Amino acid sequence: MTYTSVDELAYRTFGNFFYKNKESFQELKVKIRHSHIPMSVDQYLASAFMYSIFAGIIGGIFGGWLGLKTFGDSISRLSLFVDSTRAGFAEEHLYMLAILIALLFFIISFLTVFGVAYIYPYFQADIRNACIEKSMLPAVTYMYALTRGGMSIYDVFRSLSKYVHIFGTSAEEVSYIVRDMDYLGMDFISALKEAKERTPSDRFKDFVDGLILVSSSGTITEYIKNKSEQYQDMAELANHNLLKRLDVLAEVYVTVLVAGPLFIMTTLVVLQFFRPASAQILYMLIYVIIPIATLLFIVLLDTVGELSMSPEKGNIPGYPINLADIPELSSEISVEEEEKRDKKLKLYRQLYNIKDRLFNPYRTIRDEPRYTFFLGVPLGLYYLTHLPKTLTDSINFNLHWNLNFAHVSNSSVQFISAIDDYLIIFIVIVLIPFIIFYEIRAWRMRKIDERMPDLLRNLSSMNDSGILLSNSLKIIAESKMGLLSNELKKLKEDLSWGTSTSRALMKLENNIRTASSSRIIHTLIKANESTSDLKSVLSITAEQVKGDERLKKERSSEMVVYVVTIYVAFFVFLFIVYVLAVYFFPESASFKSSSQGMGSGGIGNGYFNMGEYTMLMYHSALVQAITSGLIAGKMGQGSVYMGLKYSVSMMIITYAVFTFMV
């Protein structure tokens, strides 16, 4: 969190008040520390108060503008809520009501921003707690494997702290313990006690408490082993609880974000014949409320879903030592000249990496699917440049947006109805390449992870037979290991050319880069460097990986149900809006015309525009398709990116239904 001039101004203005009353915010102070927010509680509250005032001013200006627009023509815009007499009263007191609305929006905006800022440390601390507890099992297994191999607990902590991107938030907590000892001069016990006060996780506190008790004895390895087994059992229990929570959340989603909006939309369509302002609520529901509610639901799923770590590339040194430091090699090169050559070497490597990516496009895009947008976006824009001339002229000359909250004009409805089909095709063109390569990468990662237990089991049996790790890797490279075989053959070539085992394994990890393989390979690297008892390390790691794969398969089999449930809910939604658009709206329009022809009042109010309501039903189905797909991916496979294929498929179905059947 960056300290800005606004924060400085806030502390000068409000800091003294919050400093004097900071004893009233002790719980918030603890949560700020748990969240690792680098601010004192008085500074944090002063900044939150200042930003809330800014938000209140913006909200007040918007509220004043909204009040003038709403009460300036209140008879048509408030007809859904009040009768014409009260609407006329609102017009007579326009400016007074506008000021009241501005004050109301100021208060709401101020309280909303300050409330969000106040609860943010609580929310962030809860997220850190969940991340720590979900990453405890692989981190403790790593500790056990290395302590069993003979490494001291401090060296294990130092090693674990270097791999936060692999072992997650638990490794980050350990890194603060190492920092306290290395840079703040604390002893091991004091650093552990400080970690207890800093962490939001009760599970990590319990682990540290036990570590303090056994640190003076020789039973640390046994203690970590017991904790590893305990966390494995807890992970299985947490997986079952997660599936139960997702069952409930799936029902909540279908009820609140599919059936609920459908019921409200149907009710508002019927009310339109009596209260013309109901269309305004429809616009808010379709274009604002449903997307925002879906975003909040995804955030909710993020707090209960499994931890997803994306390993970064490790740092592979070009040379383990500086060649100029070797006495036998008299290079007669000055330090400046060596630095100059080193810069040239780094530049050459950068150019080589760029060349490698350009000449191996499939591998590049397979590893980084986002690069497909460099192809998909230009193709989509090229498609949009070939719009019909009449539509292009409409964009240039005939687009008139109506900003007064009344019904959209007929010309705008016709324009939107003409352009939305092209925008859907543009989105499909842009997303399909990304979806294809993202799915290829996910499939590849899944197949590699499935082979990792076999790799560990084979290495363990060979090590038990007395074969060195490097030779074991060469032998396994010749066996059938699925997608892992190609990477193991590259590793064998590196070993044959004299590359060290650790460096070759690091290159293997960089080529694979899955969460499971990164943890396994880094455990192998450290164990190979620190101990000769690889058999224990391999068997421990294999057991933990086997348990992880069992939990993944159990969850995958259960998640299919949620995807099917969301698809069924979407098709029900699509069927009902299709019935409204094809049967209900034409009958309603003809009934309105006949009522007006007979001079009847009431229902024939003249506000019903069949084209506008058909457009709204079409867009509601598209919004539901996009949001339902993302939710299906998040619930079924743990990622919204995995839900893009569902979103695009539902969009295509919606497009086909409204293009060829409506």
Quote the CA–CA distance of 60 and 100 in Å, as a whole number.
10
pLDDT digits (tens, 9 = 90+) for 513-560: 787 788 888 888 887 777 666 777 777 777 778 777 777 777 777 778
Tokens of 360: 């191996």
pLDDT digits (tens, 9 = 90+) for 125-164: 888 888 888 888 888 888 888 887 778 888 889 888 888 8
Q: 92: phi > 0 → left, psi -120 to 50 → alpha, else beta; which?
A: alpha
Helix axes 290-304, 94-148, angle to 10 degrees: 20
Quote the CA–CA distance of 374 and 365 in Å, as a whole number.
10
> What ranges do the domains of the chain cover?
5-128, 134-232, 238-305+372-444+550-660, 323-359
* DSSP codes of every residue in 57-95: HHHHHHHHHHHHHHHHTHHHHSTTTS-HHHHHHHHHTHH
Q: Which residue has the tokens 């930003």?
A: 51
* DSSP codes of every residue in 470-522: HHHHHHHHTS--TTHHHHHHHHHHHHHTT--HHHHHHHHHHHH--HHHHHHHH
What is the reported pTM? 0.78
Q: Which residues of the chain have pLDDT under 70?
A: 1-2, 71-94, 218, 273-278, 304-332, 390-409, 531-533, 589, 591-608
Tokens of 631: 């939710």
Q: For the purposes of burial, counting CB atoms within 10 Å of the CB of 490, is it exposed (0-12), middle (13-18) or buried (19 or more)?
A: middle
Q: What is the pLDDT of residue 123?
A: 87
The closest of 145, 147, 168 to 544, measured between CA atoms, is 145
Q: What is the pLDDT of residue 548?
A: 77
Q: For the purposes of burial, counting CB atoms within 10 Å of the CB of 323, is it exposed (0-12), middle (13-18) or buried (19 or more)?
A: exposed
Quote the CA–CA distance of 201 and 499 in Å, as a whole number.
42
List all residues 6 or more positions away from 176 whose beta carbon is below 8 Å from its beta carbon: 195, 198
Contact 135, 173 (CB under 8 A): no
Residue 583 DSSP label: I
* DSSP codes of every residue in 147-199: HHTT--HHHHHHHHHTTHHHHTHHHHHHHHHHHHHHHS---HHHHHHHHHHH-
Residues shown for the chain: 662
Of the CA atoms within 13 Å of residue 504, those in its CB half-sphere come to 21
